[in-house]
Amino acid sequence: MTSSQFVIASPGHASIYDAEAIALHEHDALHFIAMGTRRGVDGLPAEVTRLKPAIGLFTYAAGRTLRPFAAESFRFRLYPWFDQWVKKQLRPGGHIISSYAYANESFKWIRAHGGRTFLDGGNSHPDNFWEILTEEHRLWKSPDPPVARHYYDRCRAMMEHVDYVFTASTYVAQSFLKRGFKP
């Protein structure tokens, strides 16, 4: 693996990661994509695809048997398992792309071994996200917090290991800048 190669880590299937993985692979810059699913990305060869279908199975079972907040909370509890699995496959000098709370230990490991970390910032900074949704939940008298507290804490902890944030939104970018990220 050259130092320019990337790992993409997502416990679920997301089309944005499909497109990123294909583009990186076409430029010989993809080490692998790690997914907690039973199916990989159409158009990517098996040698750059790592699957952990048990995560998807447990997520599906929780979604079918638990109320929505509990199922989502359970899914978030699976992230450290996914993260440890990804981390075992990393190589020094590589880079990683992932999203909130998916790969905290992997981000930390990559930085300690000469690579860079890239957060897929689909939502605003975790503190901003929590503040806005907490207010909405209060206004609508929701019995649940915006998201499980353990997920929010894990999102916040990940921020100290983020080098770059990918976002297509000025609003999201501003939420990171307001919390000390550099342009």
Q: What is the pLDDT of residues 80-123, one digit of tens each?
A: 999 999 999 999 999 999 999 999 999 999 999 999 999 999 99
Beta bridge pairs of residue 117: 96
Rounded to two decimals, the pTM is 0.94
Beta bridge pairs of residue 116: none
Tens digit of pLDDT for each residue in 138-168?
A: 999 999 989 999 999 999 999 999 999 999 8
Assess contact for 100 and 126: CB atoms under 8 A.
yes
Domain residue extents for the chain: 6-177
Question: In whole angstroms, what is the distance from residue 167 CA to residue 98 CA?
Answer: 12
Q: What angle do CA 110, 112, 114 make, to 5 degrees?
A: 70
Task: Indicate whether 70 pLDDT > 50.
Answer: yes
For residue 147, the model assigns a pLDDT of: 93
Q: 73: which 2 tokens?
A: 């909370």
Band the pLDDT of 1: cuts 50, 70, 90. very low
Q: Which CATH number fits domain 6-177: 3.40.50, 3.90.350, 3.30.1120, 3.30.70?
A: 3.40.50
Assess contact for 124 and 49: CB atoms under 8 A.
no
